[in-house]
Amino acid sequence: MKVIEKENKKFETIQWPDPKDERYLYFPFDQWQQVPWKIARAKDEQSQSLLSSTLLQRLQSLFSERVVYIQVFANQVISEDISVEKKESSFFINALDSDWEDPFLASFQKQAETYYIPIEQNCIVIVEYSMPEDFSNSFASFNLYFSIESGVNVKFMEYFAPSSHSFFMANRIFHLQEESHLEKIVLTTQGKNKALLFDNIYYELQQKAFVSSVNVPQIKGAYRKNMYASFVGQEAHLENYTLHRVKNNDVYDHFAKLKHDAKETSCKDTLHAIAEDEGVSNFCTRIVIGKNIAKATSNQKAKGIALSNTVKFNFRPELEIYSDEVECSHGASIGSLDEEALFYLRARGLSLEEAKELLVQATESSILDHSFLPQDLIQEVIGENQ
Amino acid sequence: MNVLEIKDLHVALSDGEGRPQTEIIKGLDFVLPKGEIHAIMGPNGTGKSTLTKVLAGHKDYIVTKGSILFLGEDLLSLDVEERARKGIFVAFQYPVEIPGVNNAYFLRTALNNIRKMRGEKELDPIDFMKLAKAELKSLKMDPSFLNRSLNEGFSGGEKKRNEILQLKLLNPILAILDETDSGLDIDALRIVAEGVNSYHTKENSVLMITHYQRLLDYIRPDVVHVMVNGQIVKSGNAELAVELEKTGYEKFAS
């Protein structure tokens, strides 16, 4: 691929977080701060999709709606199927809720290319984020603002293919207008070596807007999810399901702030983490229910399964409630696989490894069942380009 | 030939770190010849279910003394799955619920492991479904059972029938039924018993653990044993079960 050039200068303006910043308490920045990151910029050409044509055809054949394909290659966004309008970064930053302010993320957002993508009709959207494999230490950041019009139903697949030794900072706003409906799945494929991926997502939900998102981050290196949601319209609903498996000394770091600013809004943030070797899984979700927000319902749940005794889980579910008449719950559990279930499966002739894998798959299924994509297809997408 | 030979077996509950704690089975001797059906009856807490767990290889129970031979081979040296693959099947009293594990997928994996061990060809999904559906029909189970998660949300009776379905599909050399009759209504009991009877041939053996005589009305045992305080205290023919139903276990307690 010849569509990318690397600027011959270090990216010097990263404002790394204060080590005491509670949002990043468990994130291993020290491993990444020393890397001489170079900015990757794409030229105005479209590169080939990383997803095979067979897989894309299969995806398209599952649904009757129009398929919109968007390619994000390094910092550049291209689509032949939908209007992609370039904007100033202030357009993106001004749209963010002041409660979401994060100097670290802002330092990227200010300098990133910004694109506005209105979605006005029911459709399937496939967004593919990639960088070429041969540009180690390359860094890309972009701001995407998706506006989903009133009453529009969208199925949305995001596919991250970070290359080895790369650093992706993906900033997306999803502005959901009244009664719009977004079903989303976020998938990643692993590069050959470690990468750093920041998956920053901001939702603003108007009245009766609905979001269901399934996230399957599989990465070598570190994956940071920043999820912010503002429920500004009555009866807005968001549910977010995450499944990840960390191995070696990889890190998955989940930070979410879910803010209920309207009555009868509901939310659910669920994580199932499977860790082995010296893998680290962090989950910090803060639910905030403002004053006079009646009948809000919010739930956060994290379940960690340790496949070895050298893994680390840092689970910190938090509630900030300023209203009466709300229903909130939070919980976290950490343990190994159910010994009785393992015994039962082995007593039917399954080896210990087979029994463990079956129980891990069962945990995975309980998250993947929430996706609009069938499980075999999800596994196929994840398996591509590995 | 004896399928199972147990000599002077002593078993204690583990303290969780592999050290023996409370002794439950205290010098049990037992022989089960090939082709026979034996029943072990006894009051609560006498070690009957412990015996089934020990035979299956559960790590919470530690054999402190004695031996168990399965077809002449030292059973205690085998892992849980090796025992199953060599032909031991335990229909558990409380089959565990495993959400997310598809019943059909689990059954086919289990069956193919055992077929591989026997040197038989593994079954592909189509052939497996044909076989499984035929067995489901004989147990009056809905085919949708195969698509459900393993035992999840099953009623007590459904769980027991699912155990018998597994028994019929895996076709082991030794079937151990741990209180399979508990929680079953009369119709379900008859169906389960018919399943066990259709499995049993001269080539395999059945060990039933039960409190009550009613299961033995449907599955006729060759020998009935009374187990009290971790030992077999009396053995006899099927009439012994009838006698126990009238007199209870009290006279054996002393």
Sequence-separated (6 or more) residues with CB below 8 Å from residue B81: A346, A347, A349, A350, A351, A352, B113
Of B96, B99, B170, the CB nearest to A362: B99
The model's confidence at residue A76, banded by pLDDT at 50, 70 and 90, is: confident
A with B: how many residue pairs have Cβ under 8 Å apart?
72
The CATH number of whichever domain residue B195 belongs to comes to 3.40.50.300
The residue of chain B with its CA nearest to that of A338 is B98
Quote the domain boundaries for residue B103. 36-50+79-253
Among A279, A320, A329, A323, residue whose Cα is nearest residue A301: A329
Q: Across the strands, what pairs with A296?
A: none
Instruction: Name the amino acid, one letter, at A216.
Output: V
List, for residues A174-194, the tens digit of each pLDDT value: 999 999 999 999 998 877 778
Q: What is the pLDDT of residue B150?
A: 93
Of B84, B101, B170, the CB nearest to A358: B101
Chain B interface, Cβ < 8 Å to A: 56-59, 79-81, 83-85, 89-90, 92, 95-96, 98-101, 106, 109-110, 113-114, 117, 149, 166, 170
Q: Specify if B27 maps to a domain.
A: no
Q: Specify if B3 maps to a domain.
A: no
HSE (CB half, 13 Å, CA atoms) of A5? 6
The model's confidence at residue A145, banded by pLDDT at 50, 70 and 90, is: very high
Show the tokens assigned to A105. Answer: 């993320």
pLDDT above 80 (res A99): yes
d(CA B124, CA A43): 51
Q: Specify if B114 maps to a domain.
A: yes
Rounded to an integer, the average pLDDT of B15-21 is 87
Of A340, A343, A365, the CB nearest to B100: A365
For chain B, what is the domain count?
A: 1
Cβ of B100 and A338 within 8 Å? no
The interface predicted TM-score of the complex, written ipTM, equals: 0.96
Residue B152: its chain A contacts at CB < 8 A? none
Q: What is the pLDDT of residue A4?
A: 45
Q: Specify if B14 maps to a domain.
A: no
Cβ of B170 and A349 within 8 Å? yes
pLDDT above 80 (res A277): yes
Q: Specify if B96 maps to a domain.
A: yes
pLDDT above 80 (res A3): no
The alpha carbon of residue A117 and the mean position of all alpha carbons in its chain are separated, in whole angstroms, by 19
List, for residues A194-227, the tens digit of each pLDDT value: 889 999 999 999 999 999 999 998 878 999 999 9
List, for residues A359-385, the tens digit of each pLDDT value: 999 999 889 999 999 988 888 888 765
Q: Specify if B144 maps to a domain.
A: yes
pLDDT above 80 (res B46): yes
Model-level pTM?
0.84
Q: Crossing angle for the helix pair B125-138 and B103-117, nearest 10 degrees?
A: 110
Quote the domain boundaries for residue A286. 4-383
Q: Specify if B184 maps to a domain.
A: yes
For chain A, what is the domain count?
A: 1
Beta-sheet strand order (sheet of A237-246): A76-78, A66-73, A123-130, A153-161, A181-188, A210-216, A237-246, A266-275, A297-306, A327-335
List, for residues A232-250, the tens digit of each pLDDT value: 999 999 999 999 999 999 9
Residue B100: its chain A contacts at CB < 8 A? 361-366
